[in-house]
Amino acid sequence: MPYILSPIIKENFEGMWFEGSPYKKETIYDINSTDPKSPPVNYSAYTLKPHSLPHIEASSHTVKDGKTIDSYFTGNAIRNFWGKALVVKLKGDGFIEHSTVSGTKVWEVTLSDLKQGILEASGSEIIPDRIIVTVNDLPETTTGLHRPDHVLILSQEAADYLTSNDNFCLYGTSWKSSDFRPGSKERPIHNTIFKKAVIMECLDVKNVPAGTYFMNAFPIPLQGASESPVCPVLFTKEEILEQL
């Protein structure tokens, strides 16, 4: 079976960014309505706050005059959303108590961490075009996503290493963001990745073994949006071959 990198989205989810539930459903038409003017259908409006759900970010998220989600649906840029992807699951416990933010631990993935993870997941030292980085023993929320108080981010050296691949086009993470700089308006890791790639965050990868997959991760093509919900799916090579 393919791996689906999103939990079932429920209205009781807590927001990752203190914004309340990231999903709200509002009825427009009810199939049980006795109103003669109401059509015999169920039809609702849905409000989503993508940053607390699996989502893809365009460069306009942190870059002034950057690309929006819809602009990646033209030409070769569409390759950001599909193709071969490597899942890296870091081993051990690199989470360290933050010096100023109480109750928060941070794992800043070093270049050595990243290279070792890529080698173990792929058997090669080649920088992948698409990569999803998480940890082997994922600290979970009640909804099965990566706990916000266990920060997982790339070091600047690791981000520079990924973008040294001219074909690099997607960085994914199980954590809710790609930077952690309390009190700062700078987002250096986002900005580095956005030079070459889109970013995918809040991924549910706890049950996905490290390795190489075929990925399908198209977001909703919202015009002018800096981010959009996504439900990524990973297929093994065997699953793809079975369908041919």
Would you state the pLDDT for residue 184? 94
Cβ(176)–Cβ(51) below 8 Å: yes
Stated as kind and residue range, the H or E segment containing 119 is: helix 111-122
State the sign of the Cα–Cα–Cα–Cα dihedral 10, 13, 18, 20: positive
Q: How confident is the model at residue 164 (pLDDT cuts 50, 70, 90)?
A: very high
Kindly tell me if the per-residue pLDDT of 203 is higher than 90.
yes
In which region does residue 120 sit, left (phi positive, over 0), alpha (psi from -120 to 50) or beta (all else)? alpha
**CATH class of segment(s) 53-242:** alpha beta
DSSP per residue, 136-157: SS--B-TTSSBPTTEEEEE-HH
Kindly tell me if the per-residue pLDDT of 20 is higher than 90.
yes
Would you state the pLDDT for residue 144? 87
Would you state the pLDDT for residue 79? 97
Q: How confident is the model at residue 142 (pLDDT cuts 50, 70, 90)?
A: confident
Domain spans, the chain: 53-242
Q: How confident is the model at residue 138 (pLDDT cuts 50, 70, 90)?
A: confident
